[in-house]
Structure 1
Amino acid sequence: MTVKQLRAFVAVAKTRSFTEACDQLHLSQPALSVAIKNLEDALGGQLLARTTRTLALTPEGEAFYPTAQRLLADLDEAYEEMHNRFSLFRGKIAIASMPSFASNQLPAALKIFRERFPAINVMVHDVIAEDVVDMVRTGRVEVGVTFDPDDAGDLNFHPLFDDRFIAVIPTNHPLSAQSVVRWPDLLEDDFIILQRPSSVRLLVENKLESQGMTLNPQYETHQLATIGRMVATGLGVSVVPSLCLRQMEELGALCRPLEAPIVNRRVGILTRRRYPLSTGARELVDVLAHAF
């Protein structure tokens, strides 16, 4: 049973005329007759009762008519839905992003995407870097933005930029007079850092270890915004990705370049290697890549 056969039967059943059905479908009468005959053969019996003067549906034809109409309606709806998706007239995309990017750089990129594709809905999951990798890997989101996962062979990583970590200090701190802050000076104060297993925490600890320094935090938290507020209140000092510079300043803290050693890490787009992206997700990746 083919779509052509179904359309032929529905046209004839609706018009009760082979001539009118041929005009509707732009088919010759022999082609229409063959389509109906092949459908009847496929179903196993007559659907139309034909005489020289009349054309009527058999009882089986009457029973099949609404089913054929429904099948064609569902097919037309499916065609329209897929056309809309491929044309980006409709759809939904899920993206996971580490909070430092989601709350600072991502909104500007999403605004560009929205202006181009206003009918595409975007769901943003702002989660820690490790969860971004997991959500992309398991297919819960198509696109992720995070630090380079290094050894993730099943994922594609498209670099966007290198992010250098900065010092975050209270406005009245002695180091505020310095244009650049050094790690040994920063570690003399009470230190605030993200809790494990944060990749930011692990990166900082590993970098300091390689330089013979040890991190002994007085405060640990899950959120970068909490770090900014705690520093602004005068509870201590911290380091964050430079992605968060504006956020830290809005919370009332000062930010300074950090060196001895410099800590940086590549930020990029994460997708699954063996799974093609939807049309909308490809466009979102393109917007992100051009925005940075």
Structure 2
Amino acid sequence: MHQTHATLKQVRAFVAIARSRSFAEAAAQLNLSQPALSSAIKTLEQTVGGQLLTRTTRTFALTPEGESFLPTAQRLLAEWDGALEDLHNRFALRTGRITIAAMPSFAANLLPQGLFRFKQSHPDIRVALHDVIAEDVVRMVRSGQAELGISFHPGDHDDLLFTPLFEDHFVAVLPAQHHLSDGTEVTLAELAQEDLITLQTPSQVRGLIAEFFQQHQLPFLPAFEAHQLVTVARMVASGLGVSLVPALSEQQMREVGACCRPLADGSLSRQVGILSRRRYPLSAASKAMMEIFLETFVTD
């Protein structure tokens, strides 16, 4: 047996009549004719299986069932209207929340500039930032924990989109008083003769550096390994060795007392860009954030 369902229009008609206690006033509020209003109430009563209103020529009253249903009907309409208003505000960027995952070198140095511009344009959007290693950026975006990610190019993945922002070149990091710091450039062969400090496996940065050493037929034998670039920076500044890091981290290196020099052996670089899920559309807020990132950070 086919069962019909009450519509929002019918529920609104019932609530309007119950509030105003007048068919004429309720019809005016809903921009309906009185016959159309009466038809909506009749159909609602047929759907629920009984009378909600008792009518006379001059007045009407709610039945006990109508009295019982009224608070629920009012709550349902308030929740529906609130949900639509919230949805409208989200599309209008007047409310919402974005979760971003960004590798620490970008999060600590460039990201605040992009977030500042976004906040100026959309002050009511809340942002949750996870500054995690590049591998975790990929994992968080892939799992949906973050809508946008900022990381090195992770390679080709069927489930991810990568939108390039800029090319980040690696620099040599030396203790302030190191003899190699006197020059304007440092060769990879010179770095290979020093105690090398790198990130731990499975870091993409470590993998790139290992490949670079291999391309130049030099041994890659780290003396020290750490989990975070800030730890690498402090170890270098303390005189424990030298390192290679993305130029994004150069400010961090200098802040702890290390110095940075460009490489003389050609460029070691990696694209930095925005990660998102391929088969999942972005929210309006994340689209706006992405546009600002492209305007702020893309280089020719």
Q: Deviations over 1:234-288 (max 9, x none)?
A: 1111110000111111111111111325211111000000000111111111111
Unaligned runs of 5+ in 1: none
Unaligned runs of 5+ in 2: 1-5
Structure 1 position 97 matched with structure 2 position 98:
no
CA displacement at 1:93 relative to structure 2 = 0.7
Structure 1 position 177 matched with structure 2 position 182:
yes
- The within-5 A match list for 1:58-97 is 58-97=63-102
Structure 1 position 265 matched with structure 2 position 258:
no
2:20 and 2:193 map into 1 onto residues whose CA distance is 89
Structure 1 position 237 matched with structure 2 position 242:
yes
Task: Find the partner of 1:226 among 231, 236, 243.
Answer: 231
Structure 1 position 144 matched with structure 2 position 145:
no
Partner of 1:116 in structure 2? 121
CA displacement at 1:290 relative to structure 2 = 0.9
Partner of 2:37 in structure 1? 32
1:53 and 1:119 map into 2 onto residues whose CA distance is 51
Backbone CA RMSD of aligned residues: 1.1
| Number of residue-to-residue matches in the alignment | 292
Partner of 2:198 in structure 1? 193
CA displacement at 1:133 relative to structure 2 = 0.7
CA displacement at 1:210 relative to structure 2 = 2.3
1:54 and 1:184 map into 2 onto residues whose CA distance is 98
TM-score, scaled relative to structure 1: 0.97
Maintained 8 Å contact 1:182/1:261: no
Structure 1 position 10 matched with structure 2 position 31:
no
SS of 2:276's equivalent in the other structure is: strand
Maintained 8 Å contact 1:47/1:57: yes
Structure 1 position 278 matched with structure 2 position 283:
yes
- The within-5 A match list for 1:149-160 is 149-160=154-165
Maintained 8 Å contact 1:192/1:237: yes
1:208 and 1:191 map into 2 onto residues whose CA distance is 12
2:221 and 2:59 map into 1 onto residues whose CA distance is 94
User: Quick one: which amino acid aligns to residue 67 of structure 2?
Assistant: E
SS of 1:181's equivalent in the other structure is: coil
CA displacement at 1:211 relative to structure 2 = 2.1
Partner of 1:48 in structure 2? 53
Moved over 3 A (4+): none
User: Quick one: which amino acid aligns to residue 91 of structure 1?
Assistant: G
1:190 and 1:5 map into 2 onto residues whose CA distance is 78
1:136 and 1:197 map into 2 onto residues whose CA distance is 18
Structure 1 position 248 matched with structure 2 position 244:
no
2:32 and 2:87 map into 1 onto residues whose CA distance is 27
Partner of 2:172 in structure 1? 167
Partner of 1:216 in structure 2? 221
2:288 and 2:82 map into 1 onto residues whose CA distance is 24
1:51 and 1:86 map into 2 onto residues whose CA distance is 47
User: Quick one: which amino acid aligns to residue 135 of structure 2?
Assistant: E
Identity %: 55
CA displacement at 1:201 relative to structure 2 = 0.4
2:266 and 2:221 map into 1 onto residues whose CA distance is 17
TM-score, scaled relative to structure 2: 0.95
